Structures are given as structure tokens and as C-alpha cells.
Structure 1
Amino acid sequence: MPTDALEGSQQRQDIEDRLATEHDMLTVFCSDKDFDGHYSHFCKQILWPVFHYQIPDNPKSKAYEDHSWKYYVSVNQAFADKIVKNWKKGDVVWVHDYHLLLVPGMIRKKLPDAKIGFFLHVAFPSSEVFRCLAVRKELLEGMLGANLIGFQIHEYTRHFLQTCSRLLSAEAMTDGLQLEDRFVDVVHLPIGIDPVSLAEHRREEEVRRWVDLMRERYQGKKLIVARDKLDHVRGVRQKLLSYELFLNKNPQWRGRVVLIQVALSTSEKSELDATVSDIVTRVNSLWANLAYQPVVYLKQDIDYAQYLALLTIADALMVTSQREGMNLTSHEYLTCQDGEFGEKKHGSLILSEFTGTSSLFGGNDLSVNPWDYRACAEAIKTALEMGDDEKARRWTKLYEAVNHHTGSHWFGEFMTRLDRCYEEQARRDQTSVPRLSMQALAQQYKRTERRLFILDYEGTLVSWGPVNKIIPVSPQRTLDVLNDLLLDERNTIYVMSGRRPEELDRLFRRVPNLGLIAENGCFVKEVGRDAWTEMADPEQISRWKDSVKNLLDYYLERTPGAELEERRCSLIFHYKSAEDYDTAARQASDCASHINDSCEEQRVHAIPLDGCVVVEPIDWTKSTAAEKVFENLRRSLGPDERHRSPVDFLMVVGDGREDEKVFKWANGLGEEGVVREVVTVSLGNRSTEAGATLTQGVSGVLMALQRLAALS
């Protein structure tokens, strides 16, 4: 409502007091100009179209002329200020939808320790579309103020991760984004309806009266129903054209089927309205008579009782959105088809494949592409002619999905995940990770008998040597420290590296009884063995390499000075020596995004690192190799001892992002009581899963290991 006129008045105060006392709400007042610029302009003319794959840059659009961004910022800031002013420790902030994308980041600036969740209720487009926004980075950074970001379905989650990877050069993982100073979890959780509340409303006398009235009115007719906003995204025009084609091709159904289309008005000045009215008029003029009207078109909403009655008596619901998040009308329709009012309809659901809902239903709906009129017309025919057994089977599966993904399930699941990821992030936060205590480490070492060390190589045991440069010899001090530790037979050591097996053989030939992990987990050489075990499937590796090489060659041609390194299990795109580093970094970011988008099914991913992009298998990592090593040690025990852990001391030291999974795995063994003493150590000052940090770098690691060797 307009609020400028209320400035300083008692009425404004009364509104604020009543919302606070009766509804437990805080009021955010914005100027009328700010609200209009924010909602009518930026939200509806820029964000809404882009999120639904419509670029607001056609001749009829004034989207980029009205400078509405500043109003969007202003309204978001008003919300953030109100929250910051009233926030108390322990409060949870949950921000919803595209109207408030900047609020999480604004709150995070003022309240670095707040627990913030964000959920987007509409689709999230591919990076190609999102990058068209002039303020793309500001919007993403605003969202990334949250601890947990939620989307309706996996596709939107993937688009968001790829967009952040491409536009912000953030490292995208399957479960979230690793930023420089913290981790942001990203999940998909489909929202649903409240079946309990719906059931109560359906029992009202008014609903029953309308059901009886409409059954009588449409006796002997098959009913297809639809209720949509009349905007370009909802596909009302496509639906009517498909229905017209159906009647053209199936004369036997004329006079026996009615489409009831409820069209909710929107703020759009609608040529669409005129187009839709023309189609309705044409269809009705062709096949209507005194007793029959093929399309009933209502240009206003109906009340809730009529709506529920309509869903109850329908033989099919038709949704032809060109893009949409969750279409909850389809959930309500399926619930209303359960036979509460006598006959069990088990009507069919014709649903656009471009809705988020479509991914929930496992093919039990009649999925259509709204632009394919022939297929839509065929789906109408299938829906009307489907046998009762087939309808019941499909409806049962659909109803199960609706009853599982309810509103309360969505709410509970999101809050549980927000609690969990907030605690994990707090644990990971650098400020809460203590420095490694040499005294405590020495005590843990002395009171154990069977010890396993898993040590990263580059940046941990040696302080130089990017993986594409040949290191002729490992520094002597590193070799001496490892040999000293191995003098104690109770110690087992594995060194893990991104290098090739033959390089590691050469580097550590003077350290007998050392275990090795090469190419970030694709090869393992067990202690006392001469041969390497290849963890990954060679055929699978060669298959994905062929397709990825084509992509990398494309980017190589466009990045002078960059080079491609091929290893047995990975490919590395190096651009540190590129002629124009900034352009090369952008190309590399695009390259990683492209590979992650197109090669997911081949189980590979691209990881942007400093000066390079590494493409490697998802299924074989340093962590999976560490698990293999642990299991092999367990198998080496006698049959009577295999129920217990093969070691009682486990120490993992690393400095890179790929070491984080090994820290997490090792910490899990400690938390579950499998291994008595677990020490995980990260170098440097980045956020980490490790239980301790060492800030002296490689020399600190070697000093710590030397001290342990002296205790044996």
C-alpha cells in the first residue's frame, strides 16, 4: 500500500503496533518511489523475465532505461537494516525469493556470525542467460551472504553453481561453493502444499455445493481445467492453440470435451490478452452450439471453493508454462482427485517439462513441450482416452510424490540443513581452528602403537614446484625426515600428490617402504610393493578424455601462451604463462563451467586452481585413495583382528582444497571412534575441515615430523 501519506501520522504507528502485537511481525516502511522502482520495475521488468529465460532487451522493453537498480538496493537495505536492528544471538534469518536477493549479503556485513538461509521460489536460469544482467555480480554476492542457499530442483542448483564458478571464479563443488574465506552450502528442496489444510477446506459445505452444481452442468462431458496468470511465461496461448489443433484432428471429441481456462490478470499491458481472446472466440465460433461451448474462458479469478470444486471434477489438468518453478496447482489437483466426493476420478496431469514440478513426478505425468503443439494435442487425446487402470497407477505414484514433498517437509528439511551447515561452517572457520600443539601431538604419538601418516607433497613436504614443472630431486631434508620416521616399524607413511606415478617413483626412490598416491588418487602404490594399482577404469578415462580434449583445444586456441598437460587420469589447462593473464583467467573460468555443464554424466569435473584448470574424475580422489589404503591395512591383519581398526593414530597434513576431503574422512573416523587419535593439519590461513593449522609452512611440517621421529 502507498505509505508516503502516512509519514509521521498516528495511523502509521497503529499499523506497526498491530502487526507486532497481533501477528508478531516487524514492519518495513519504504517510500512509494522506492517500492514502485523496486517491485514494478526491477523485479517485474528485469529479474522476473531473466529468471524465466526472457531477456528484457527487446524494442518493447524499457527495462534498462529506468535506472530501477538503485530502488531495488534501497528496499533490500531497508529490510536488512530492520533485521540487523532487531537481531539477537540465536535468531535464524530466512530470506525468500528474488525480491530480496541482496539482503543476505547486507546482513552478513553487519552481523558476520548470523545464521542466514536464502530460498529462491522461481527458476534459476543458465549462466548464459544470467550473465546478461548488468548487476550480475552484485546479485550473486548478495545471495552468497547466506550460509545455505536453497532452490526448487537440481537443475537450478547446477545453474547457480556454474554461474558463480563462471562469473565469480568461485570453486563450485557438488554441495556448495568454496569462497576465499568461507564455504556456502547449496541444496535443492522442492516446496509442496499443506494437505491437512487443503483437506479441511475441501470438507466445507460451499465446496460440496459447487461440486454438485458443476457435475450437473457438465454431465456427460470430459473436463480439462487450467488456472494460470495471463503472462507470456505461463503458455496460455500455446495451450489454446494445442487444444484447437486437438479438436481439428479429433472430430469425434467435439461436443464431448470442454476446456475451462481461468486466467488471472497481471500488471502486464497485454497484447497477450487480445491474442488469447481471439483464439477463444475462433474455437467457440467453429464448434459451439446452444448446448455446447468448447472453451469456457474466465478473465478473473474464481473463489477458493469454486477452484477446489473445479479440481475435484476435472478429468485432466493442463499446465503449459514455458518456464516455472514449482507448479503447486498440479499438487492441489492430484490431492483433489482422491475420491473424497464419491467417484475416484484419478484424472491425468498434462505438465510442461519446463516446470520444476516435472522433475518430481518420475514420468507419471504426461510431460509436454509447450512449443510442440502436435505433441500437446496428442497428450490431450491420451489423457482423455487413457484406461482406468493406467490412470489409477499413474495417479497413485503422483499422489505419493505430492504427499512426500509437502510444505512442512520442505520447511523442516531446510531448517535442519541450515542448522547443520551453520555448525559445520563455524567449525571450518579459521578463527575456530587452533594452531597445532606440538606438546599434545607428542603425547598422542607416544601413547599409540600403530600409526598411519598421509602427507600431501606439493606445498606441504616441499615448498616449490608447480605440478607441470619437473622436480629433478626431492629436497634432501624431506627425504631424511621420512626415512627417520620410517625407522620406527610402527609407522606407515603415504605421500599423496597430483604428479604421475613415474615421477613419484623417481622422487622417492631413496625412501624404501614408503606408500605413494599419484594423480590425486587415481593410482596407489602400497608399502613394500613395486607395482602401482590403477584405481580408475582406463576405458572410462580414455572415453571422457577424448571429448574433454576437444573442449580444451577450443579454449587453447583462444588463449595464447596457455598449454595443455595430459596425465594418465587427468588433463590440466595451464594459463600462468599466458600473454594476457586476465583474459586467460576469464577463458579458464568459462572453460571449467563448460566442462562441468557438459561432462557431468561422464563423472568428471573441472576445478579452477591458481593459474590452471584441472579436469579429473569425480569418483577417484585423494580421499577415495586414503580409504583404500586404510582398508588394505585392515585386510593385512589376521582374520581374528579385522573387526578392529588397523591403526590407532592417524595424521593427515595438506595445504590445498583437494586435501579437504581427506581431512573430512579422517575426522569422521575419529568422531565415530574407529581410530583413537586423529590429527588433521592444514597449512596457511584458508577456511578448512582440519582440526589444527600450521602457519610456518613446509618447514613447520618437517620440524613437527622430525620431533615425532625423535620420540621413537
Structure 2
Amino acid sequence: MPTTPTAQDRPGEHELVVVANRLPVDSRTLPDGATEWVTSPGGLVTAMESVMRTVDSGAWVGWAGSPGEAPAPFEADGMSLYPVPLDQIDVERYYEGYSNGTLWPLYHDVIVDPEFHRGWWDTYLSANRRFAEVAAPVAAPGGTIWVHDYQLQLVPRLIRDRRSDVRIGFFNHIPFPPVELFSQLPKRNSILRGLLGADLVGFQRESDSLNFLSAVRKLLGLHVDGMTISVPGIGAAPVREVVVQTFPISIDSAAVSALTEDPGIRERATQLRRDLGDPQRIVLGADRLDYTKGIRHRLKAWGELLDDGSIDPHDTVMIQIATPSRERVEAYQQLRDEVELTVGRINGEHAPLGRPAVSYQHHSFDRREMTALFMAADVVLVTALRDGMNLVAKEYIASRPDLQGVLVLSEFAGAADELRAAVLVNPHDIDELKAAILRSLAMPPEEQEEAMRSLRHQVMEHDVQLWAKEFLERLTATGSPQVAAVQAVRLTGDEPSDPAQLDVALREFTEVPRLLIASDFDGVLAPIIEDRDAVQPDPDALAALRELSDLPGVAVALVSGRALADLDSHTSMPSSVVLVGSHGAEVGALPPWMQAEVLDKSALTMTAEKEEQLAEITATLRRIARAHPGTEVETKPTAAVLHTRNATGRGGINATESALEYATTLPEVTVTPGKEVVEFAVVHTSKGVAIDALSRASAADAWLYLGDDVTDESVFGQLGERDVAVKVGGGDTAATWRISDTSTARDLLRRLLELRSEQS
């Protein structure tokens, strides 16, 4: 597969972005040591390949499959691929742990007990953030992002927080459990809110959709009208509508059916029967080795049929394919031991010389070999105890254009809703399962043809391409992107900008006639510490700001989330430096040359109603703080702030979650989450608004701003051509330059002083 490393050069241009746990390619090392990427098999890849051909630019975000540093973005088969880095701990805790040790068993009716580990949840959250951070900047303004499956249930909301302009869809490929089971899940509300970041949430079965709606109604208390959920925004954000709908997935039916015309595959099907001794009947089970697939129940039924003489092993052979799956997980290791022990016992007791009673295959088969097996099989057993869909059933049907063969299908597989002409069975009832197998083996050819004709009509008409098309059409009709709210991301990761290039930018900036130089306080001029009152700003950084404020044509400001009086006490700045507190809600004394009338203070008016609302918010936040030791509440003239920096244990995470959930009930309040803080302001302000006002009041031709927090992005997002935005620390940002820490910020301010002094 040819690849070119150009996808990374075109972020934000992709009309459709698919986000899944894995990329649609696998790496293969060539003899010369080079890496080649080959397309992975699978229904989702097949569906998305056909959809990608219909858009101008498509991208796929996912893990490349190996722990460690992710490859650079690249292109393959017309898709731009953006790898997400996962280290070995992520694989163990996010994927093997929370995804497959907690969610998978819980969502599959607790066939085995799910494990609940808080460390697994923490890693699941951080991994989902990583997927969202990679995916969010990739989509074009007004584009579509389609997130897939249970490993990424937090991603829709995490993307929504970054990109309100895009349509977001989510499809769950596995079942969604009844609310009685889902309620067992710690952090259940976080999962629900994560999914509700999407505009459209799709499920395999109608029962899954109804289970999700019940969970949202009962656990979140949200209004549900039919299949539409009204989701309140945080604070003053508007109410959104989320649509829930059923979209049963399918296969590339035409491609599978076409394989049956291949002479080589036809000959292989004949050869398979010869290899098995030309039995009268072949019964096939083809599954991942997973406890949800009902392999143990199936083997028990088969063994009993042999025990009581209902099946003669000389005439009928069973093939059981158990594709290796999650072999590092203990439950899967135990299942393999049990299955292999059972197969050994059955063969030891019933296999004729030279022929097995059960041919057990614990390895993968390619598509051609599977098609030959389906063509050779007289009966296929799909007896899952619980399954979102089960595409093996549909692949078998697509492989039988001869209209022969019988499908025994569990009523607990999603495919049972569509494939009503199959022999439906309750796999938990061993006697019923045995009877279904015997009925299938005895079914006359004309009855097989009648059933298979009905089944093939369903599978051939409703293929995976139609599934994807219907989902995306519904998403297009559902989502209401807010294009004006696009937040640019100019820098990603943690790597500081090139110092030489940054110095050139600083020199050009200081040559502008009238300047505004402004900075955040915590995390920029002073390291962030647990005790906010004990903060010690860098004296040299403050001195540089004081000296800058004395230079002609230079206005200087400190803009902080701290209350104005608190900021003043920790900086002791002269009147030549403007202090702005509470994210812009409080403005200190202005130098005489600054046009005070330009600053719009009308928004700072506190009415009696706002005073009462602020008191209620403060009381609620204090209740949250009391429940999480170490959490503190700060009061400001127009806001209340929950600080979680000193919270013990997991209290900070839990208190923040409670505060954000409370925020959805406050439609007139501006809620700003930051680094270990959540601020509730009854007066709408932001650092961006404050810098804009200060820039106009000082008649600045350009501004420079240093910030480290998410609250500083409102400044970075309004960059002009000559402005300079500097992010202190790591993370995605709309700033144009990045420096590492507070000491580097001090050096930058001193360099600004040196360069500007040369102009005086």
C-alpha cells in the first residue's frame, strides 16, 4: 500500500473524520526493514472505504496497533490516517482493562462478572482525551466526525467541547445493557454525558436504543421525547437535541457473494469435505474465542447429541473455529482451557479412527478460506449468548447463492431481528439447542431453499454501504453545527517552539509603534502550587513588566482568574501596570493616558437578582466541597470558584464532575473549567474580552499575551496579523508560539524589555 507523509500538513480540511480504536491498516515490516501498511479486514473498514470515496477528503483517527510513540500522520488508499499514541499501560488499562474487563462483560448481560478498578477508569478517560485531541483539529469547519464503539464513549463530548461547529455521530457496535445492569457501572453518568456529546447516537437493535433512552431518563433526568433527548448546555450554552436511532450493521454482501464464483474457492470447498472424510453433513461454528459467543453451550449440546446417539460421528462432523482473542485477559485464557478440554473429551469418547468428532481450529482464517468453509457447511451455528449483531450469520448467507444450507441463530444476537427465516434458538436452553441442530440436519432441500431465499433477500439488499449511507444521511439531517464557534488549533503536543524563530517574532513585535504586553499570573509568572495563598511570583519577571510599562508606547497588563485584590496583594504593581481580575470582571486603576471610557463596564453591573443567584451557586459549591475533602470555594464579586488542587485522593476528579453536572442547570451562568478549577460567573466575562478592551483603550497596534490555561484560549483565538500569542506549557492551543515554563516566560519578558529598549 503506497503511503505518503503529507496528511499532517493539511489539518482541518477533512469533510469526514472516522474515529475508531484501531486504524484501518496494519503495519508489516519488509525484508529491507521498511514499514508497509496493509488494509485490515473487517466490516467497518469495508463500509468506510466506500463512504470515503464519496467525499472530497476523508480521514481516520485510531491506534496503529503497537504501544509506544505513534507514527506521523500518513496517507493510504485515499484516506488520511492520524495515529493516536498508546503506551503499554494504556493498552493494559484502557483497552484490556476498562474496555474489555469492565464494559464488555457489563454490556453483554454480565455473562462473566465485570471488574471495576478506578485506575482503569482514569486511563480510559485519559486515552479518550487523546483520541479527541487528535481528532478535533482534523475536521474541516462544519465537517462530520463519526466515532465508533464502546472503547471511545467519552470522545463525542470531548470533541464537542473543542469543536461546536462539527456534526458528531456515535455508533455502538455492541449491545447497550438494560438500565438495571448499566446502573452498576461506576462513572455511569460520565459515560452517558460522553455519548450525549454526539448529535446522533446509533445502536444495532431497537432494544439497545430503548435501553439507552431509559438510562438517560432515569440516571440523568433529561427530557426524552420519543427518540430525541434534550441536553442542556453547561451554563449559558444552549440546549441541544440528540437523536437516538437503530441502524443494524451489515456486510459487503455483493463482494462476499462474488467470491463463491471463484473456481479456486469452489475447489477448496470440495477439498475441505474430502479432508474431513466426505461426511454426509458438516456443521460449522465460527467465532472469536469469547465467552459471549456461546461456544461452551454449543459444545455441550453437541456432546450430548453424540452421547445419546442422535448424531453418528461417522456421518456428521462439527468444525469449531475459535479465532484467538484478547489472550492476555484472564477470562479468555480460562475459556480457551475449558473449550479445549471439552473438545478433547468429545473426541476422546466419540471420534472414529482418522476423523474427529469436532475439528477444533484455534487460529484465524482469511476471507477466501472462510468463504470455502461456508460453502462446505450444511449447517452453521451462531448461538451467541449476547451479541450486538454477529456478521458471521450474514457472511454465511451471502456465501450461499445456491440457496442451500441452514442457519441456526441465537435470538440474543442482533441479527435475529432481521433474519427471521433462520432457525431461531435460545442458546441457554441446551435441550432446545439440541432440537434445533437435529431439525437443521434433517431439513429437506426445498425448505432450505425457501428459508435461504428470504435470508439472502434481506442480506443482499441491506449491505454495509447502505448502513453507512443511512447513518450519515440521518446525521446530516440532525446536526446543527455552529460554524462561528470554531476554535483554531495552531499548536499540538508539548514541544517548545524554535527559540531562534520566536526571537525573530519578538523583534518584529517590538518594532511596532504602540504595544500591549499582557500576561496571565498563575502558571506564567508564578509556578502553580497547592497553596494558592503561598504563591511566589518570579521577581525578575515582575520587574521586567514594571520596566516595560515605563517605556514609551507600551501598555502592560496582568490578566488573571484571581480576584483583583488577591492579584494586587501578590504582585504589588505600580499604577502603570493594569490589573484585571476574575477573568475580566474586575479592572483595577488605569494609567492616565489610557482611555477609560473605551472599557465597557456595563456588563459588570451586579443586580439584586444576580447577587441572589451568586449566593445560591456559592452555597451549592460549598456543599460539593464538603463532600470532597481538600476542595475549596473562592468567592469573587461576580463569581464563585471551585478549587480542586488540594483535594485528597480522587476528590478533585469527582468534585469537578459534580460541579459540571450542576452547571447544566444554570442557563444564565458562564461556566469556565480550567486547571483544577471551575468558575461560575453570573456576569459574562472572559480574558479575550478583557484583552480586546485593553487593546482598544491603549490604542495598541499589536498585543502580546502569555498564558498557560484553557481560559487563555479566548485570547489566543482572536489573534491579529501582528499579534503574538505564547502558550506556556503543553497541550493543544490556538497560540502561535510555545515555551516550556515560568522561567522561560521570565526570560521572554526580559528579552522583550531588551528589544523594546533598543527602539527607544
- In the alignment, does 2:375 pair up with 1:312? yes
| C-alpha contact 1:175 1:187 (8 A) present in aligned 2 | yes
- In the alignment, does 2:328 pair up with 1:271? no
* CA deviation profile, 1:200-253 (whole Å, cap 9, x unmatched): 444445423311211333424201101112221111000000111222334463
1:532 aligns with none
- In the alignment, does 2:74 pair up with 1:18? yes
Q: State the TM-score, normalizing by the size of structure 2.
A: 0.52
| C-alpha contact 1:55 1:129 (8 A) present in aligned 2 | no
* CA deviation profile, 1:603-651 (whole Å, cap 9, x unmatched): xxxxxxxxxxxxxxxxxxxxxxxxxxxxxxxxxxxxxxxxxxxxxxxxx
2:210 aligns with 158
* CA deviation profile, 1:529-579 (whole Å, cap 9, x unmatched): xxxxxxxxxxxxxxxxxxxxxxxxxxxxxxxxxxxxxxxxxxxxxxxxxxx
Q: Distance in 2 between matches of 1:111 and 1:18?
A: 23
| C-alpha contact 2:283 2:319 (8 A) present in aligned 1 | yes
1:88 aligns with 140
Structure 1 pair 20/385, CA: closer, same or farther in 2 (3 Å)?
closer
Structure 1 pair 369/21, CA: closer, same or farther in 2 (3 Å)?
closer
1:385 aligns with 442
Q: Distance in 1 between matches of 2:311 and 2:474?
A: 54
Letter in 2 for 1:133: L
The 5-angstrom pairing of residues 551-700 of structure 1 reads none
- In the alignment, does 2:302 pair up with 1:243? yes
Structure 1 pair 174/404, CA: closer, same or farther in 2 (3 Å)?
farther
Structure 1 pair 264/2, CA: closer, same or farther in 2 (3 Å)?
closer
SS of aligned partner of 2:254: helix
SS of aligned partner of 1:134: coil
- In the alignment, does 2:430 pair up with 1:373? yes
Identity of paired residues, percent?
29
Q: Distance in 1 between matches of 2:73 and 2:185?
A: 39
1:34 shift after superposition: 2.8
Q: State which of 326, 339, 361 in structure 2 corresponds to 1:298.
A: 361
| C-alpha contact 2:116 2:186 (8 A) present in aligned 1 | no
* CA deviation profile, 1:289-322 (whole Å, cap 9, x unmatched): 2254221111222333221111001111001111
- What is the aligned-residue RMSD (CA, Å)? 2.5
Specify which structure has the higher proportion of helix: 1
- In the alignment, does 2:145 pair up with 1:121? no
- In the alignment, does 2:149 pair up with 1:97? yes
Q: Distance in 2 between matches of 1:111 and 1:416?
A: 20
1:86 shift after superposition: 2.5
* CA deviation profile, 1:352-396 (whole Å, cap 9, x unmatched): 11111111122x111111111110000001001112221111111
Letter in 1 for 2:84: V
Letter in 1 for 2:479: Y
| C-alpha contact 1:45 1:56 (8 A) present in aligned 2 | no
Structure 1 pair 21/241, CA: closer, same or farther in 2 (3 Å)?
closer
1:38 shift after superposition: 1.0
* CA deviation profile, 1:252-282 (whole Å, cap 9, x unmatched): 6342111100111222332222222222122
Bigger drift between 379-388 and 30-39 goes to: 30-39
1:111 aligns with 163
Gaps of 5+ in 2: 1-63, 233-238, 486-760
Q: Distance in 2 between matches of 1:209 and 1:21?
A: 32
Q: Distance in 2 between matches of 1:245 and 1:40?
A: 35
The 5-angstrom pairing of residues 336-485 of structure 1 reads 336-339=399-402, 344=403, 346-362=404-420, 364-422=421-479
The 5-angstrom pairing of residues 161-200 of structure 1 reads 161-180=213-232, 181-200=239-258
Q: Distance in 2 between matches of 1:332 and 1:2?
A: 26
| C-alpha contact 1:246 1:378 (8 A) present in aligned 2 | no
Q: Distance in 2 between matches of 1:254 and 1:103?
A: 51
Q: Distance in 2 between matches of 1:347 and 1:229?
A: 22
1:30 shift after superposition: 3.2
1:350 shift after superposition: 0.6
| C-alpha contact 2:74 2:82 (8 A) present in aligned 1 | no
Structure 1 pair 212/252, CA: closer, same or farther in 2 (3 Å)?
closer
| C-alpha contact 2:73 2:83 (8 A) present in aligned 1 | no
Letter in 1 for 2:116: Y
| C-alpha contact 2:257 2:400 (8 A) present in aligned 1 | no
| C-alpha contact 1:245 1:374 (8 A) present in aligned 2 | no
1:412 shift after superposition: 0.7
1:215 aligns with 273
SS of aligned partner of 2:136: helix
| C-alpha contact 2:164 2:482 (8 A) present in aligned 1 | no
Structure 1 pair 29/293, CA: closer, same or farther in 2 (3 Å)?
closer
Q: Distance in 2 between matches of 1:124 and 1:131?
A: 12
2:293 aligns with 234
Structure 1 pair 157/252, CA: closer, same or farther in 2 (3 Å)?
closer
SS of aligned partner of 1:117: strand
- In the alignment, does 2:349 pair up with 1:286? yes
| C-alpha contact 1:207 1:308 (8 A) present in aligned 2 | yes
Q: Distance in 1 between matches of 2:112 and 2:441?
A: 39
Q: Distance in 2 between matches of 1:304 and 1:82?
A: 32
1:256 aligns with 315
SS of aligned partner of 1:337: coil
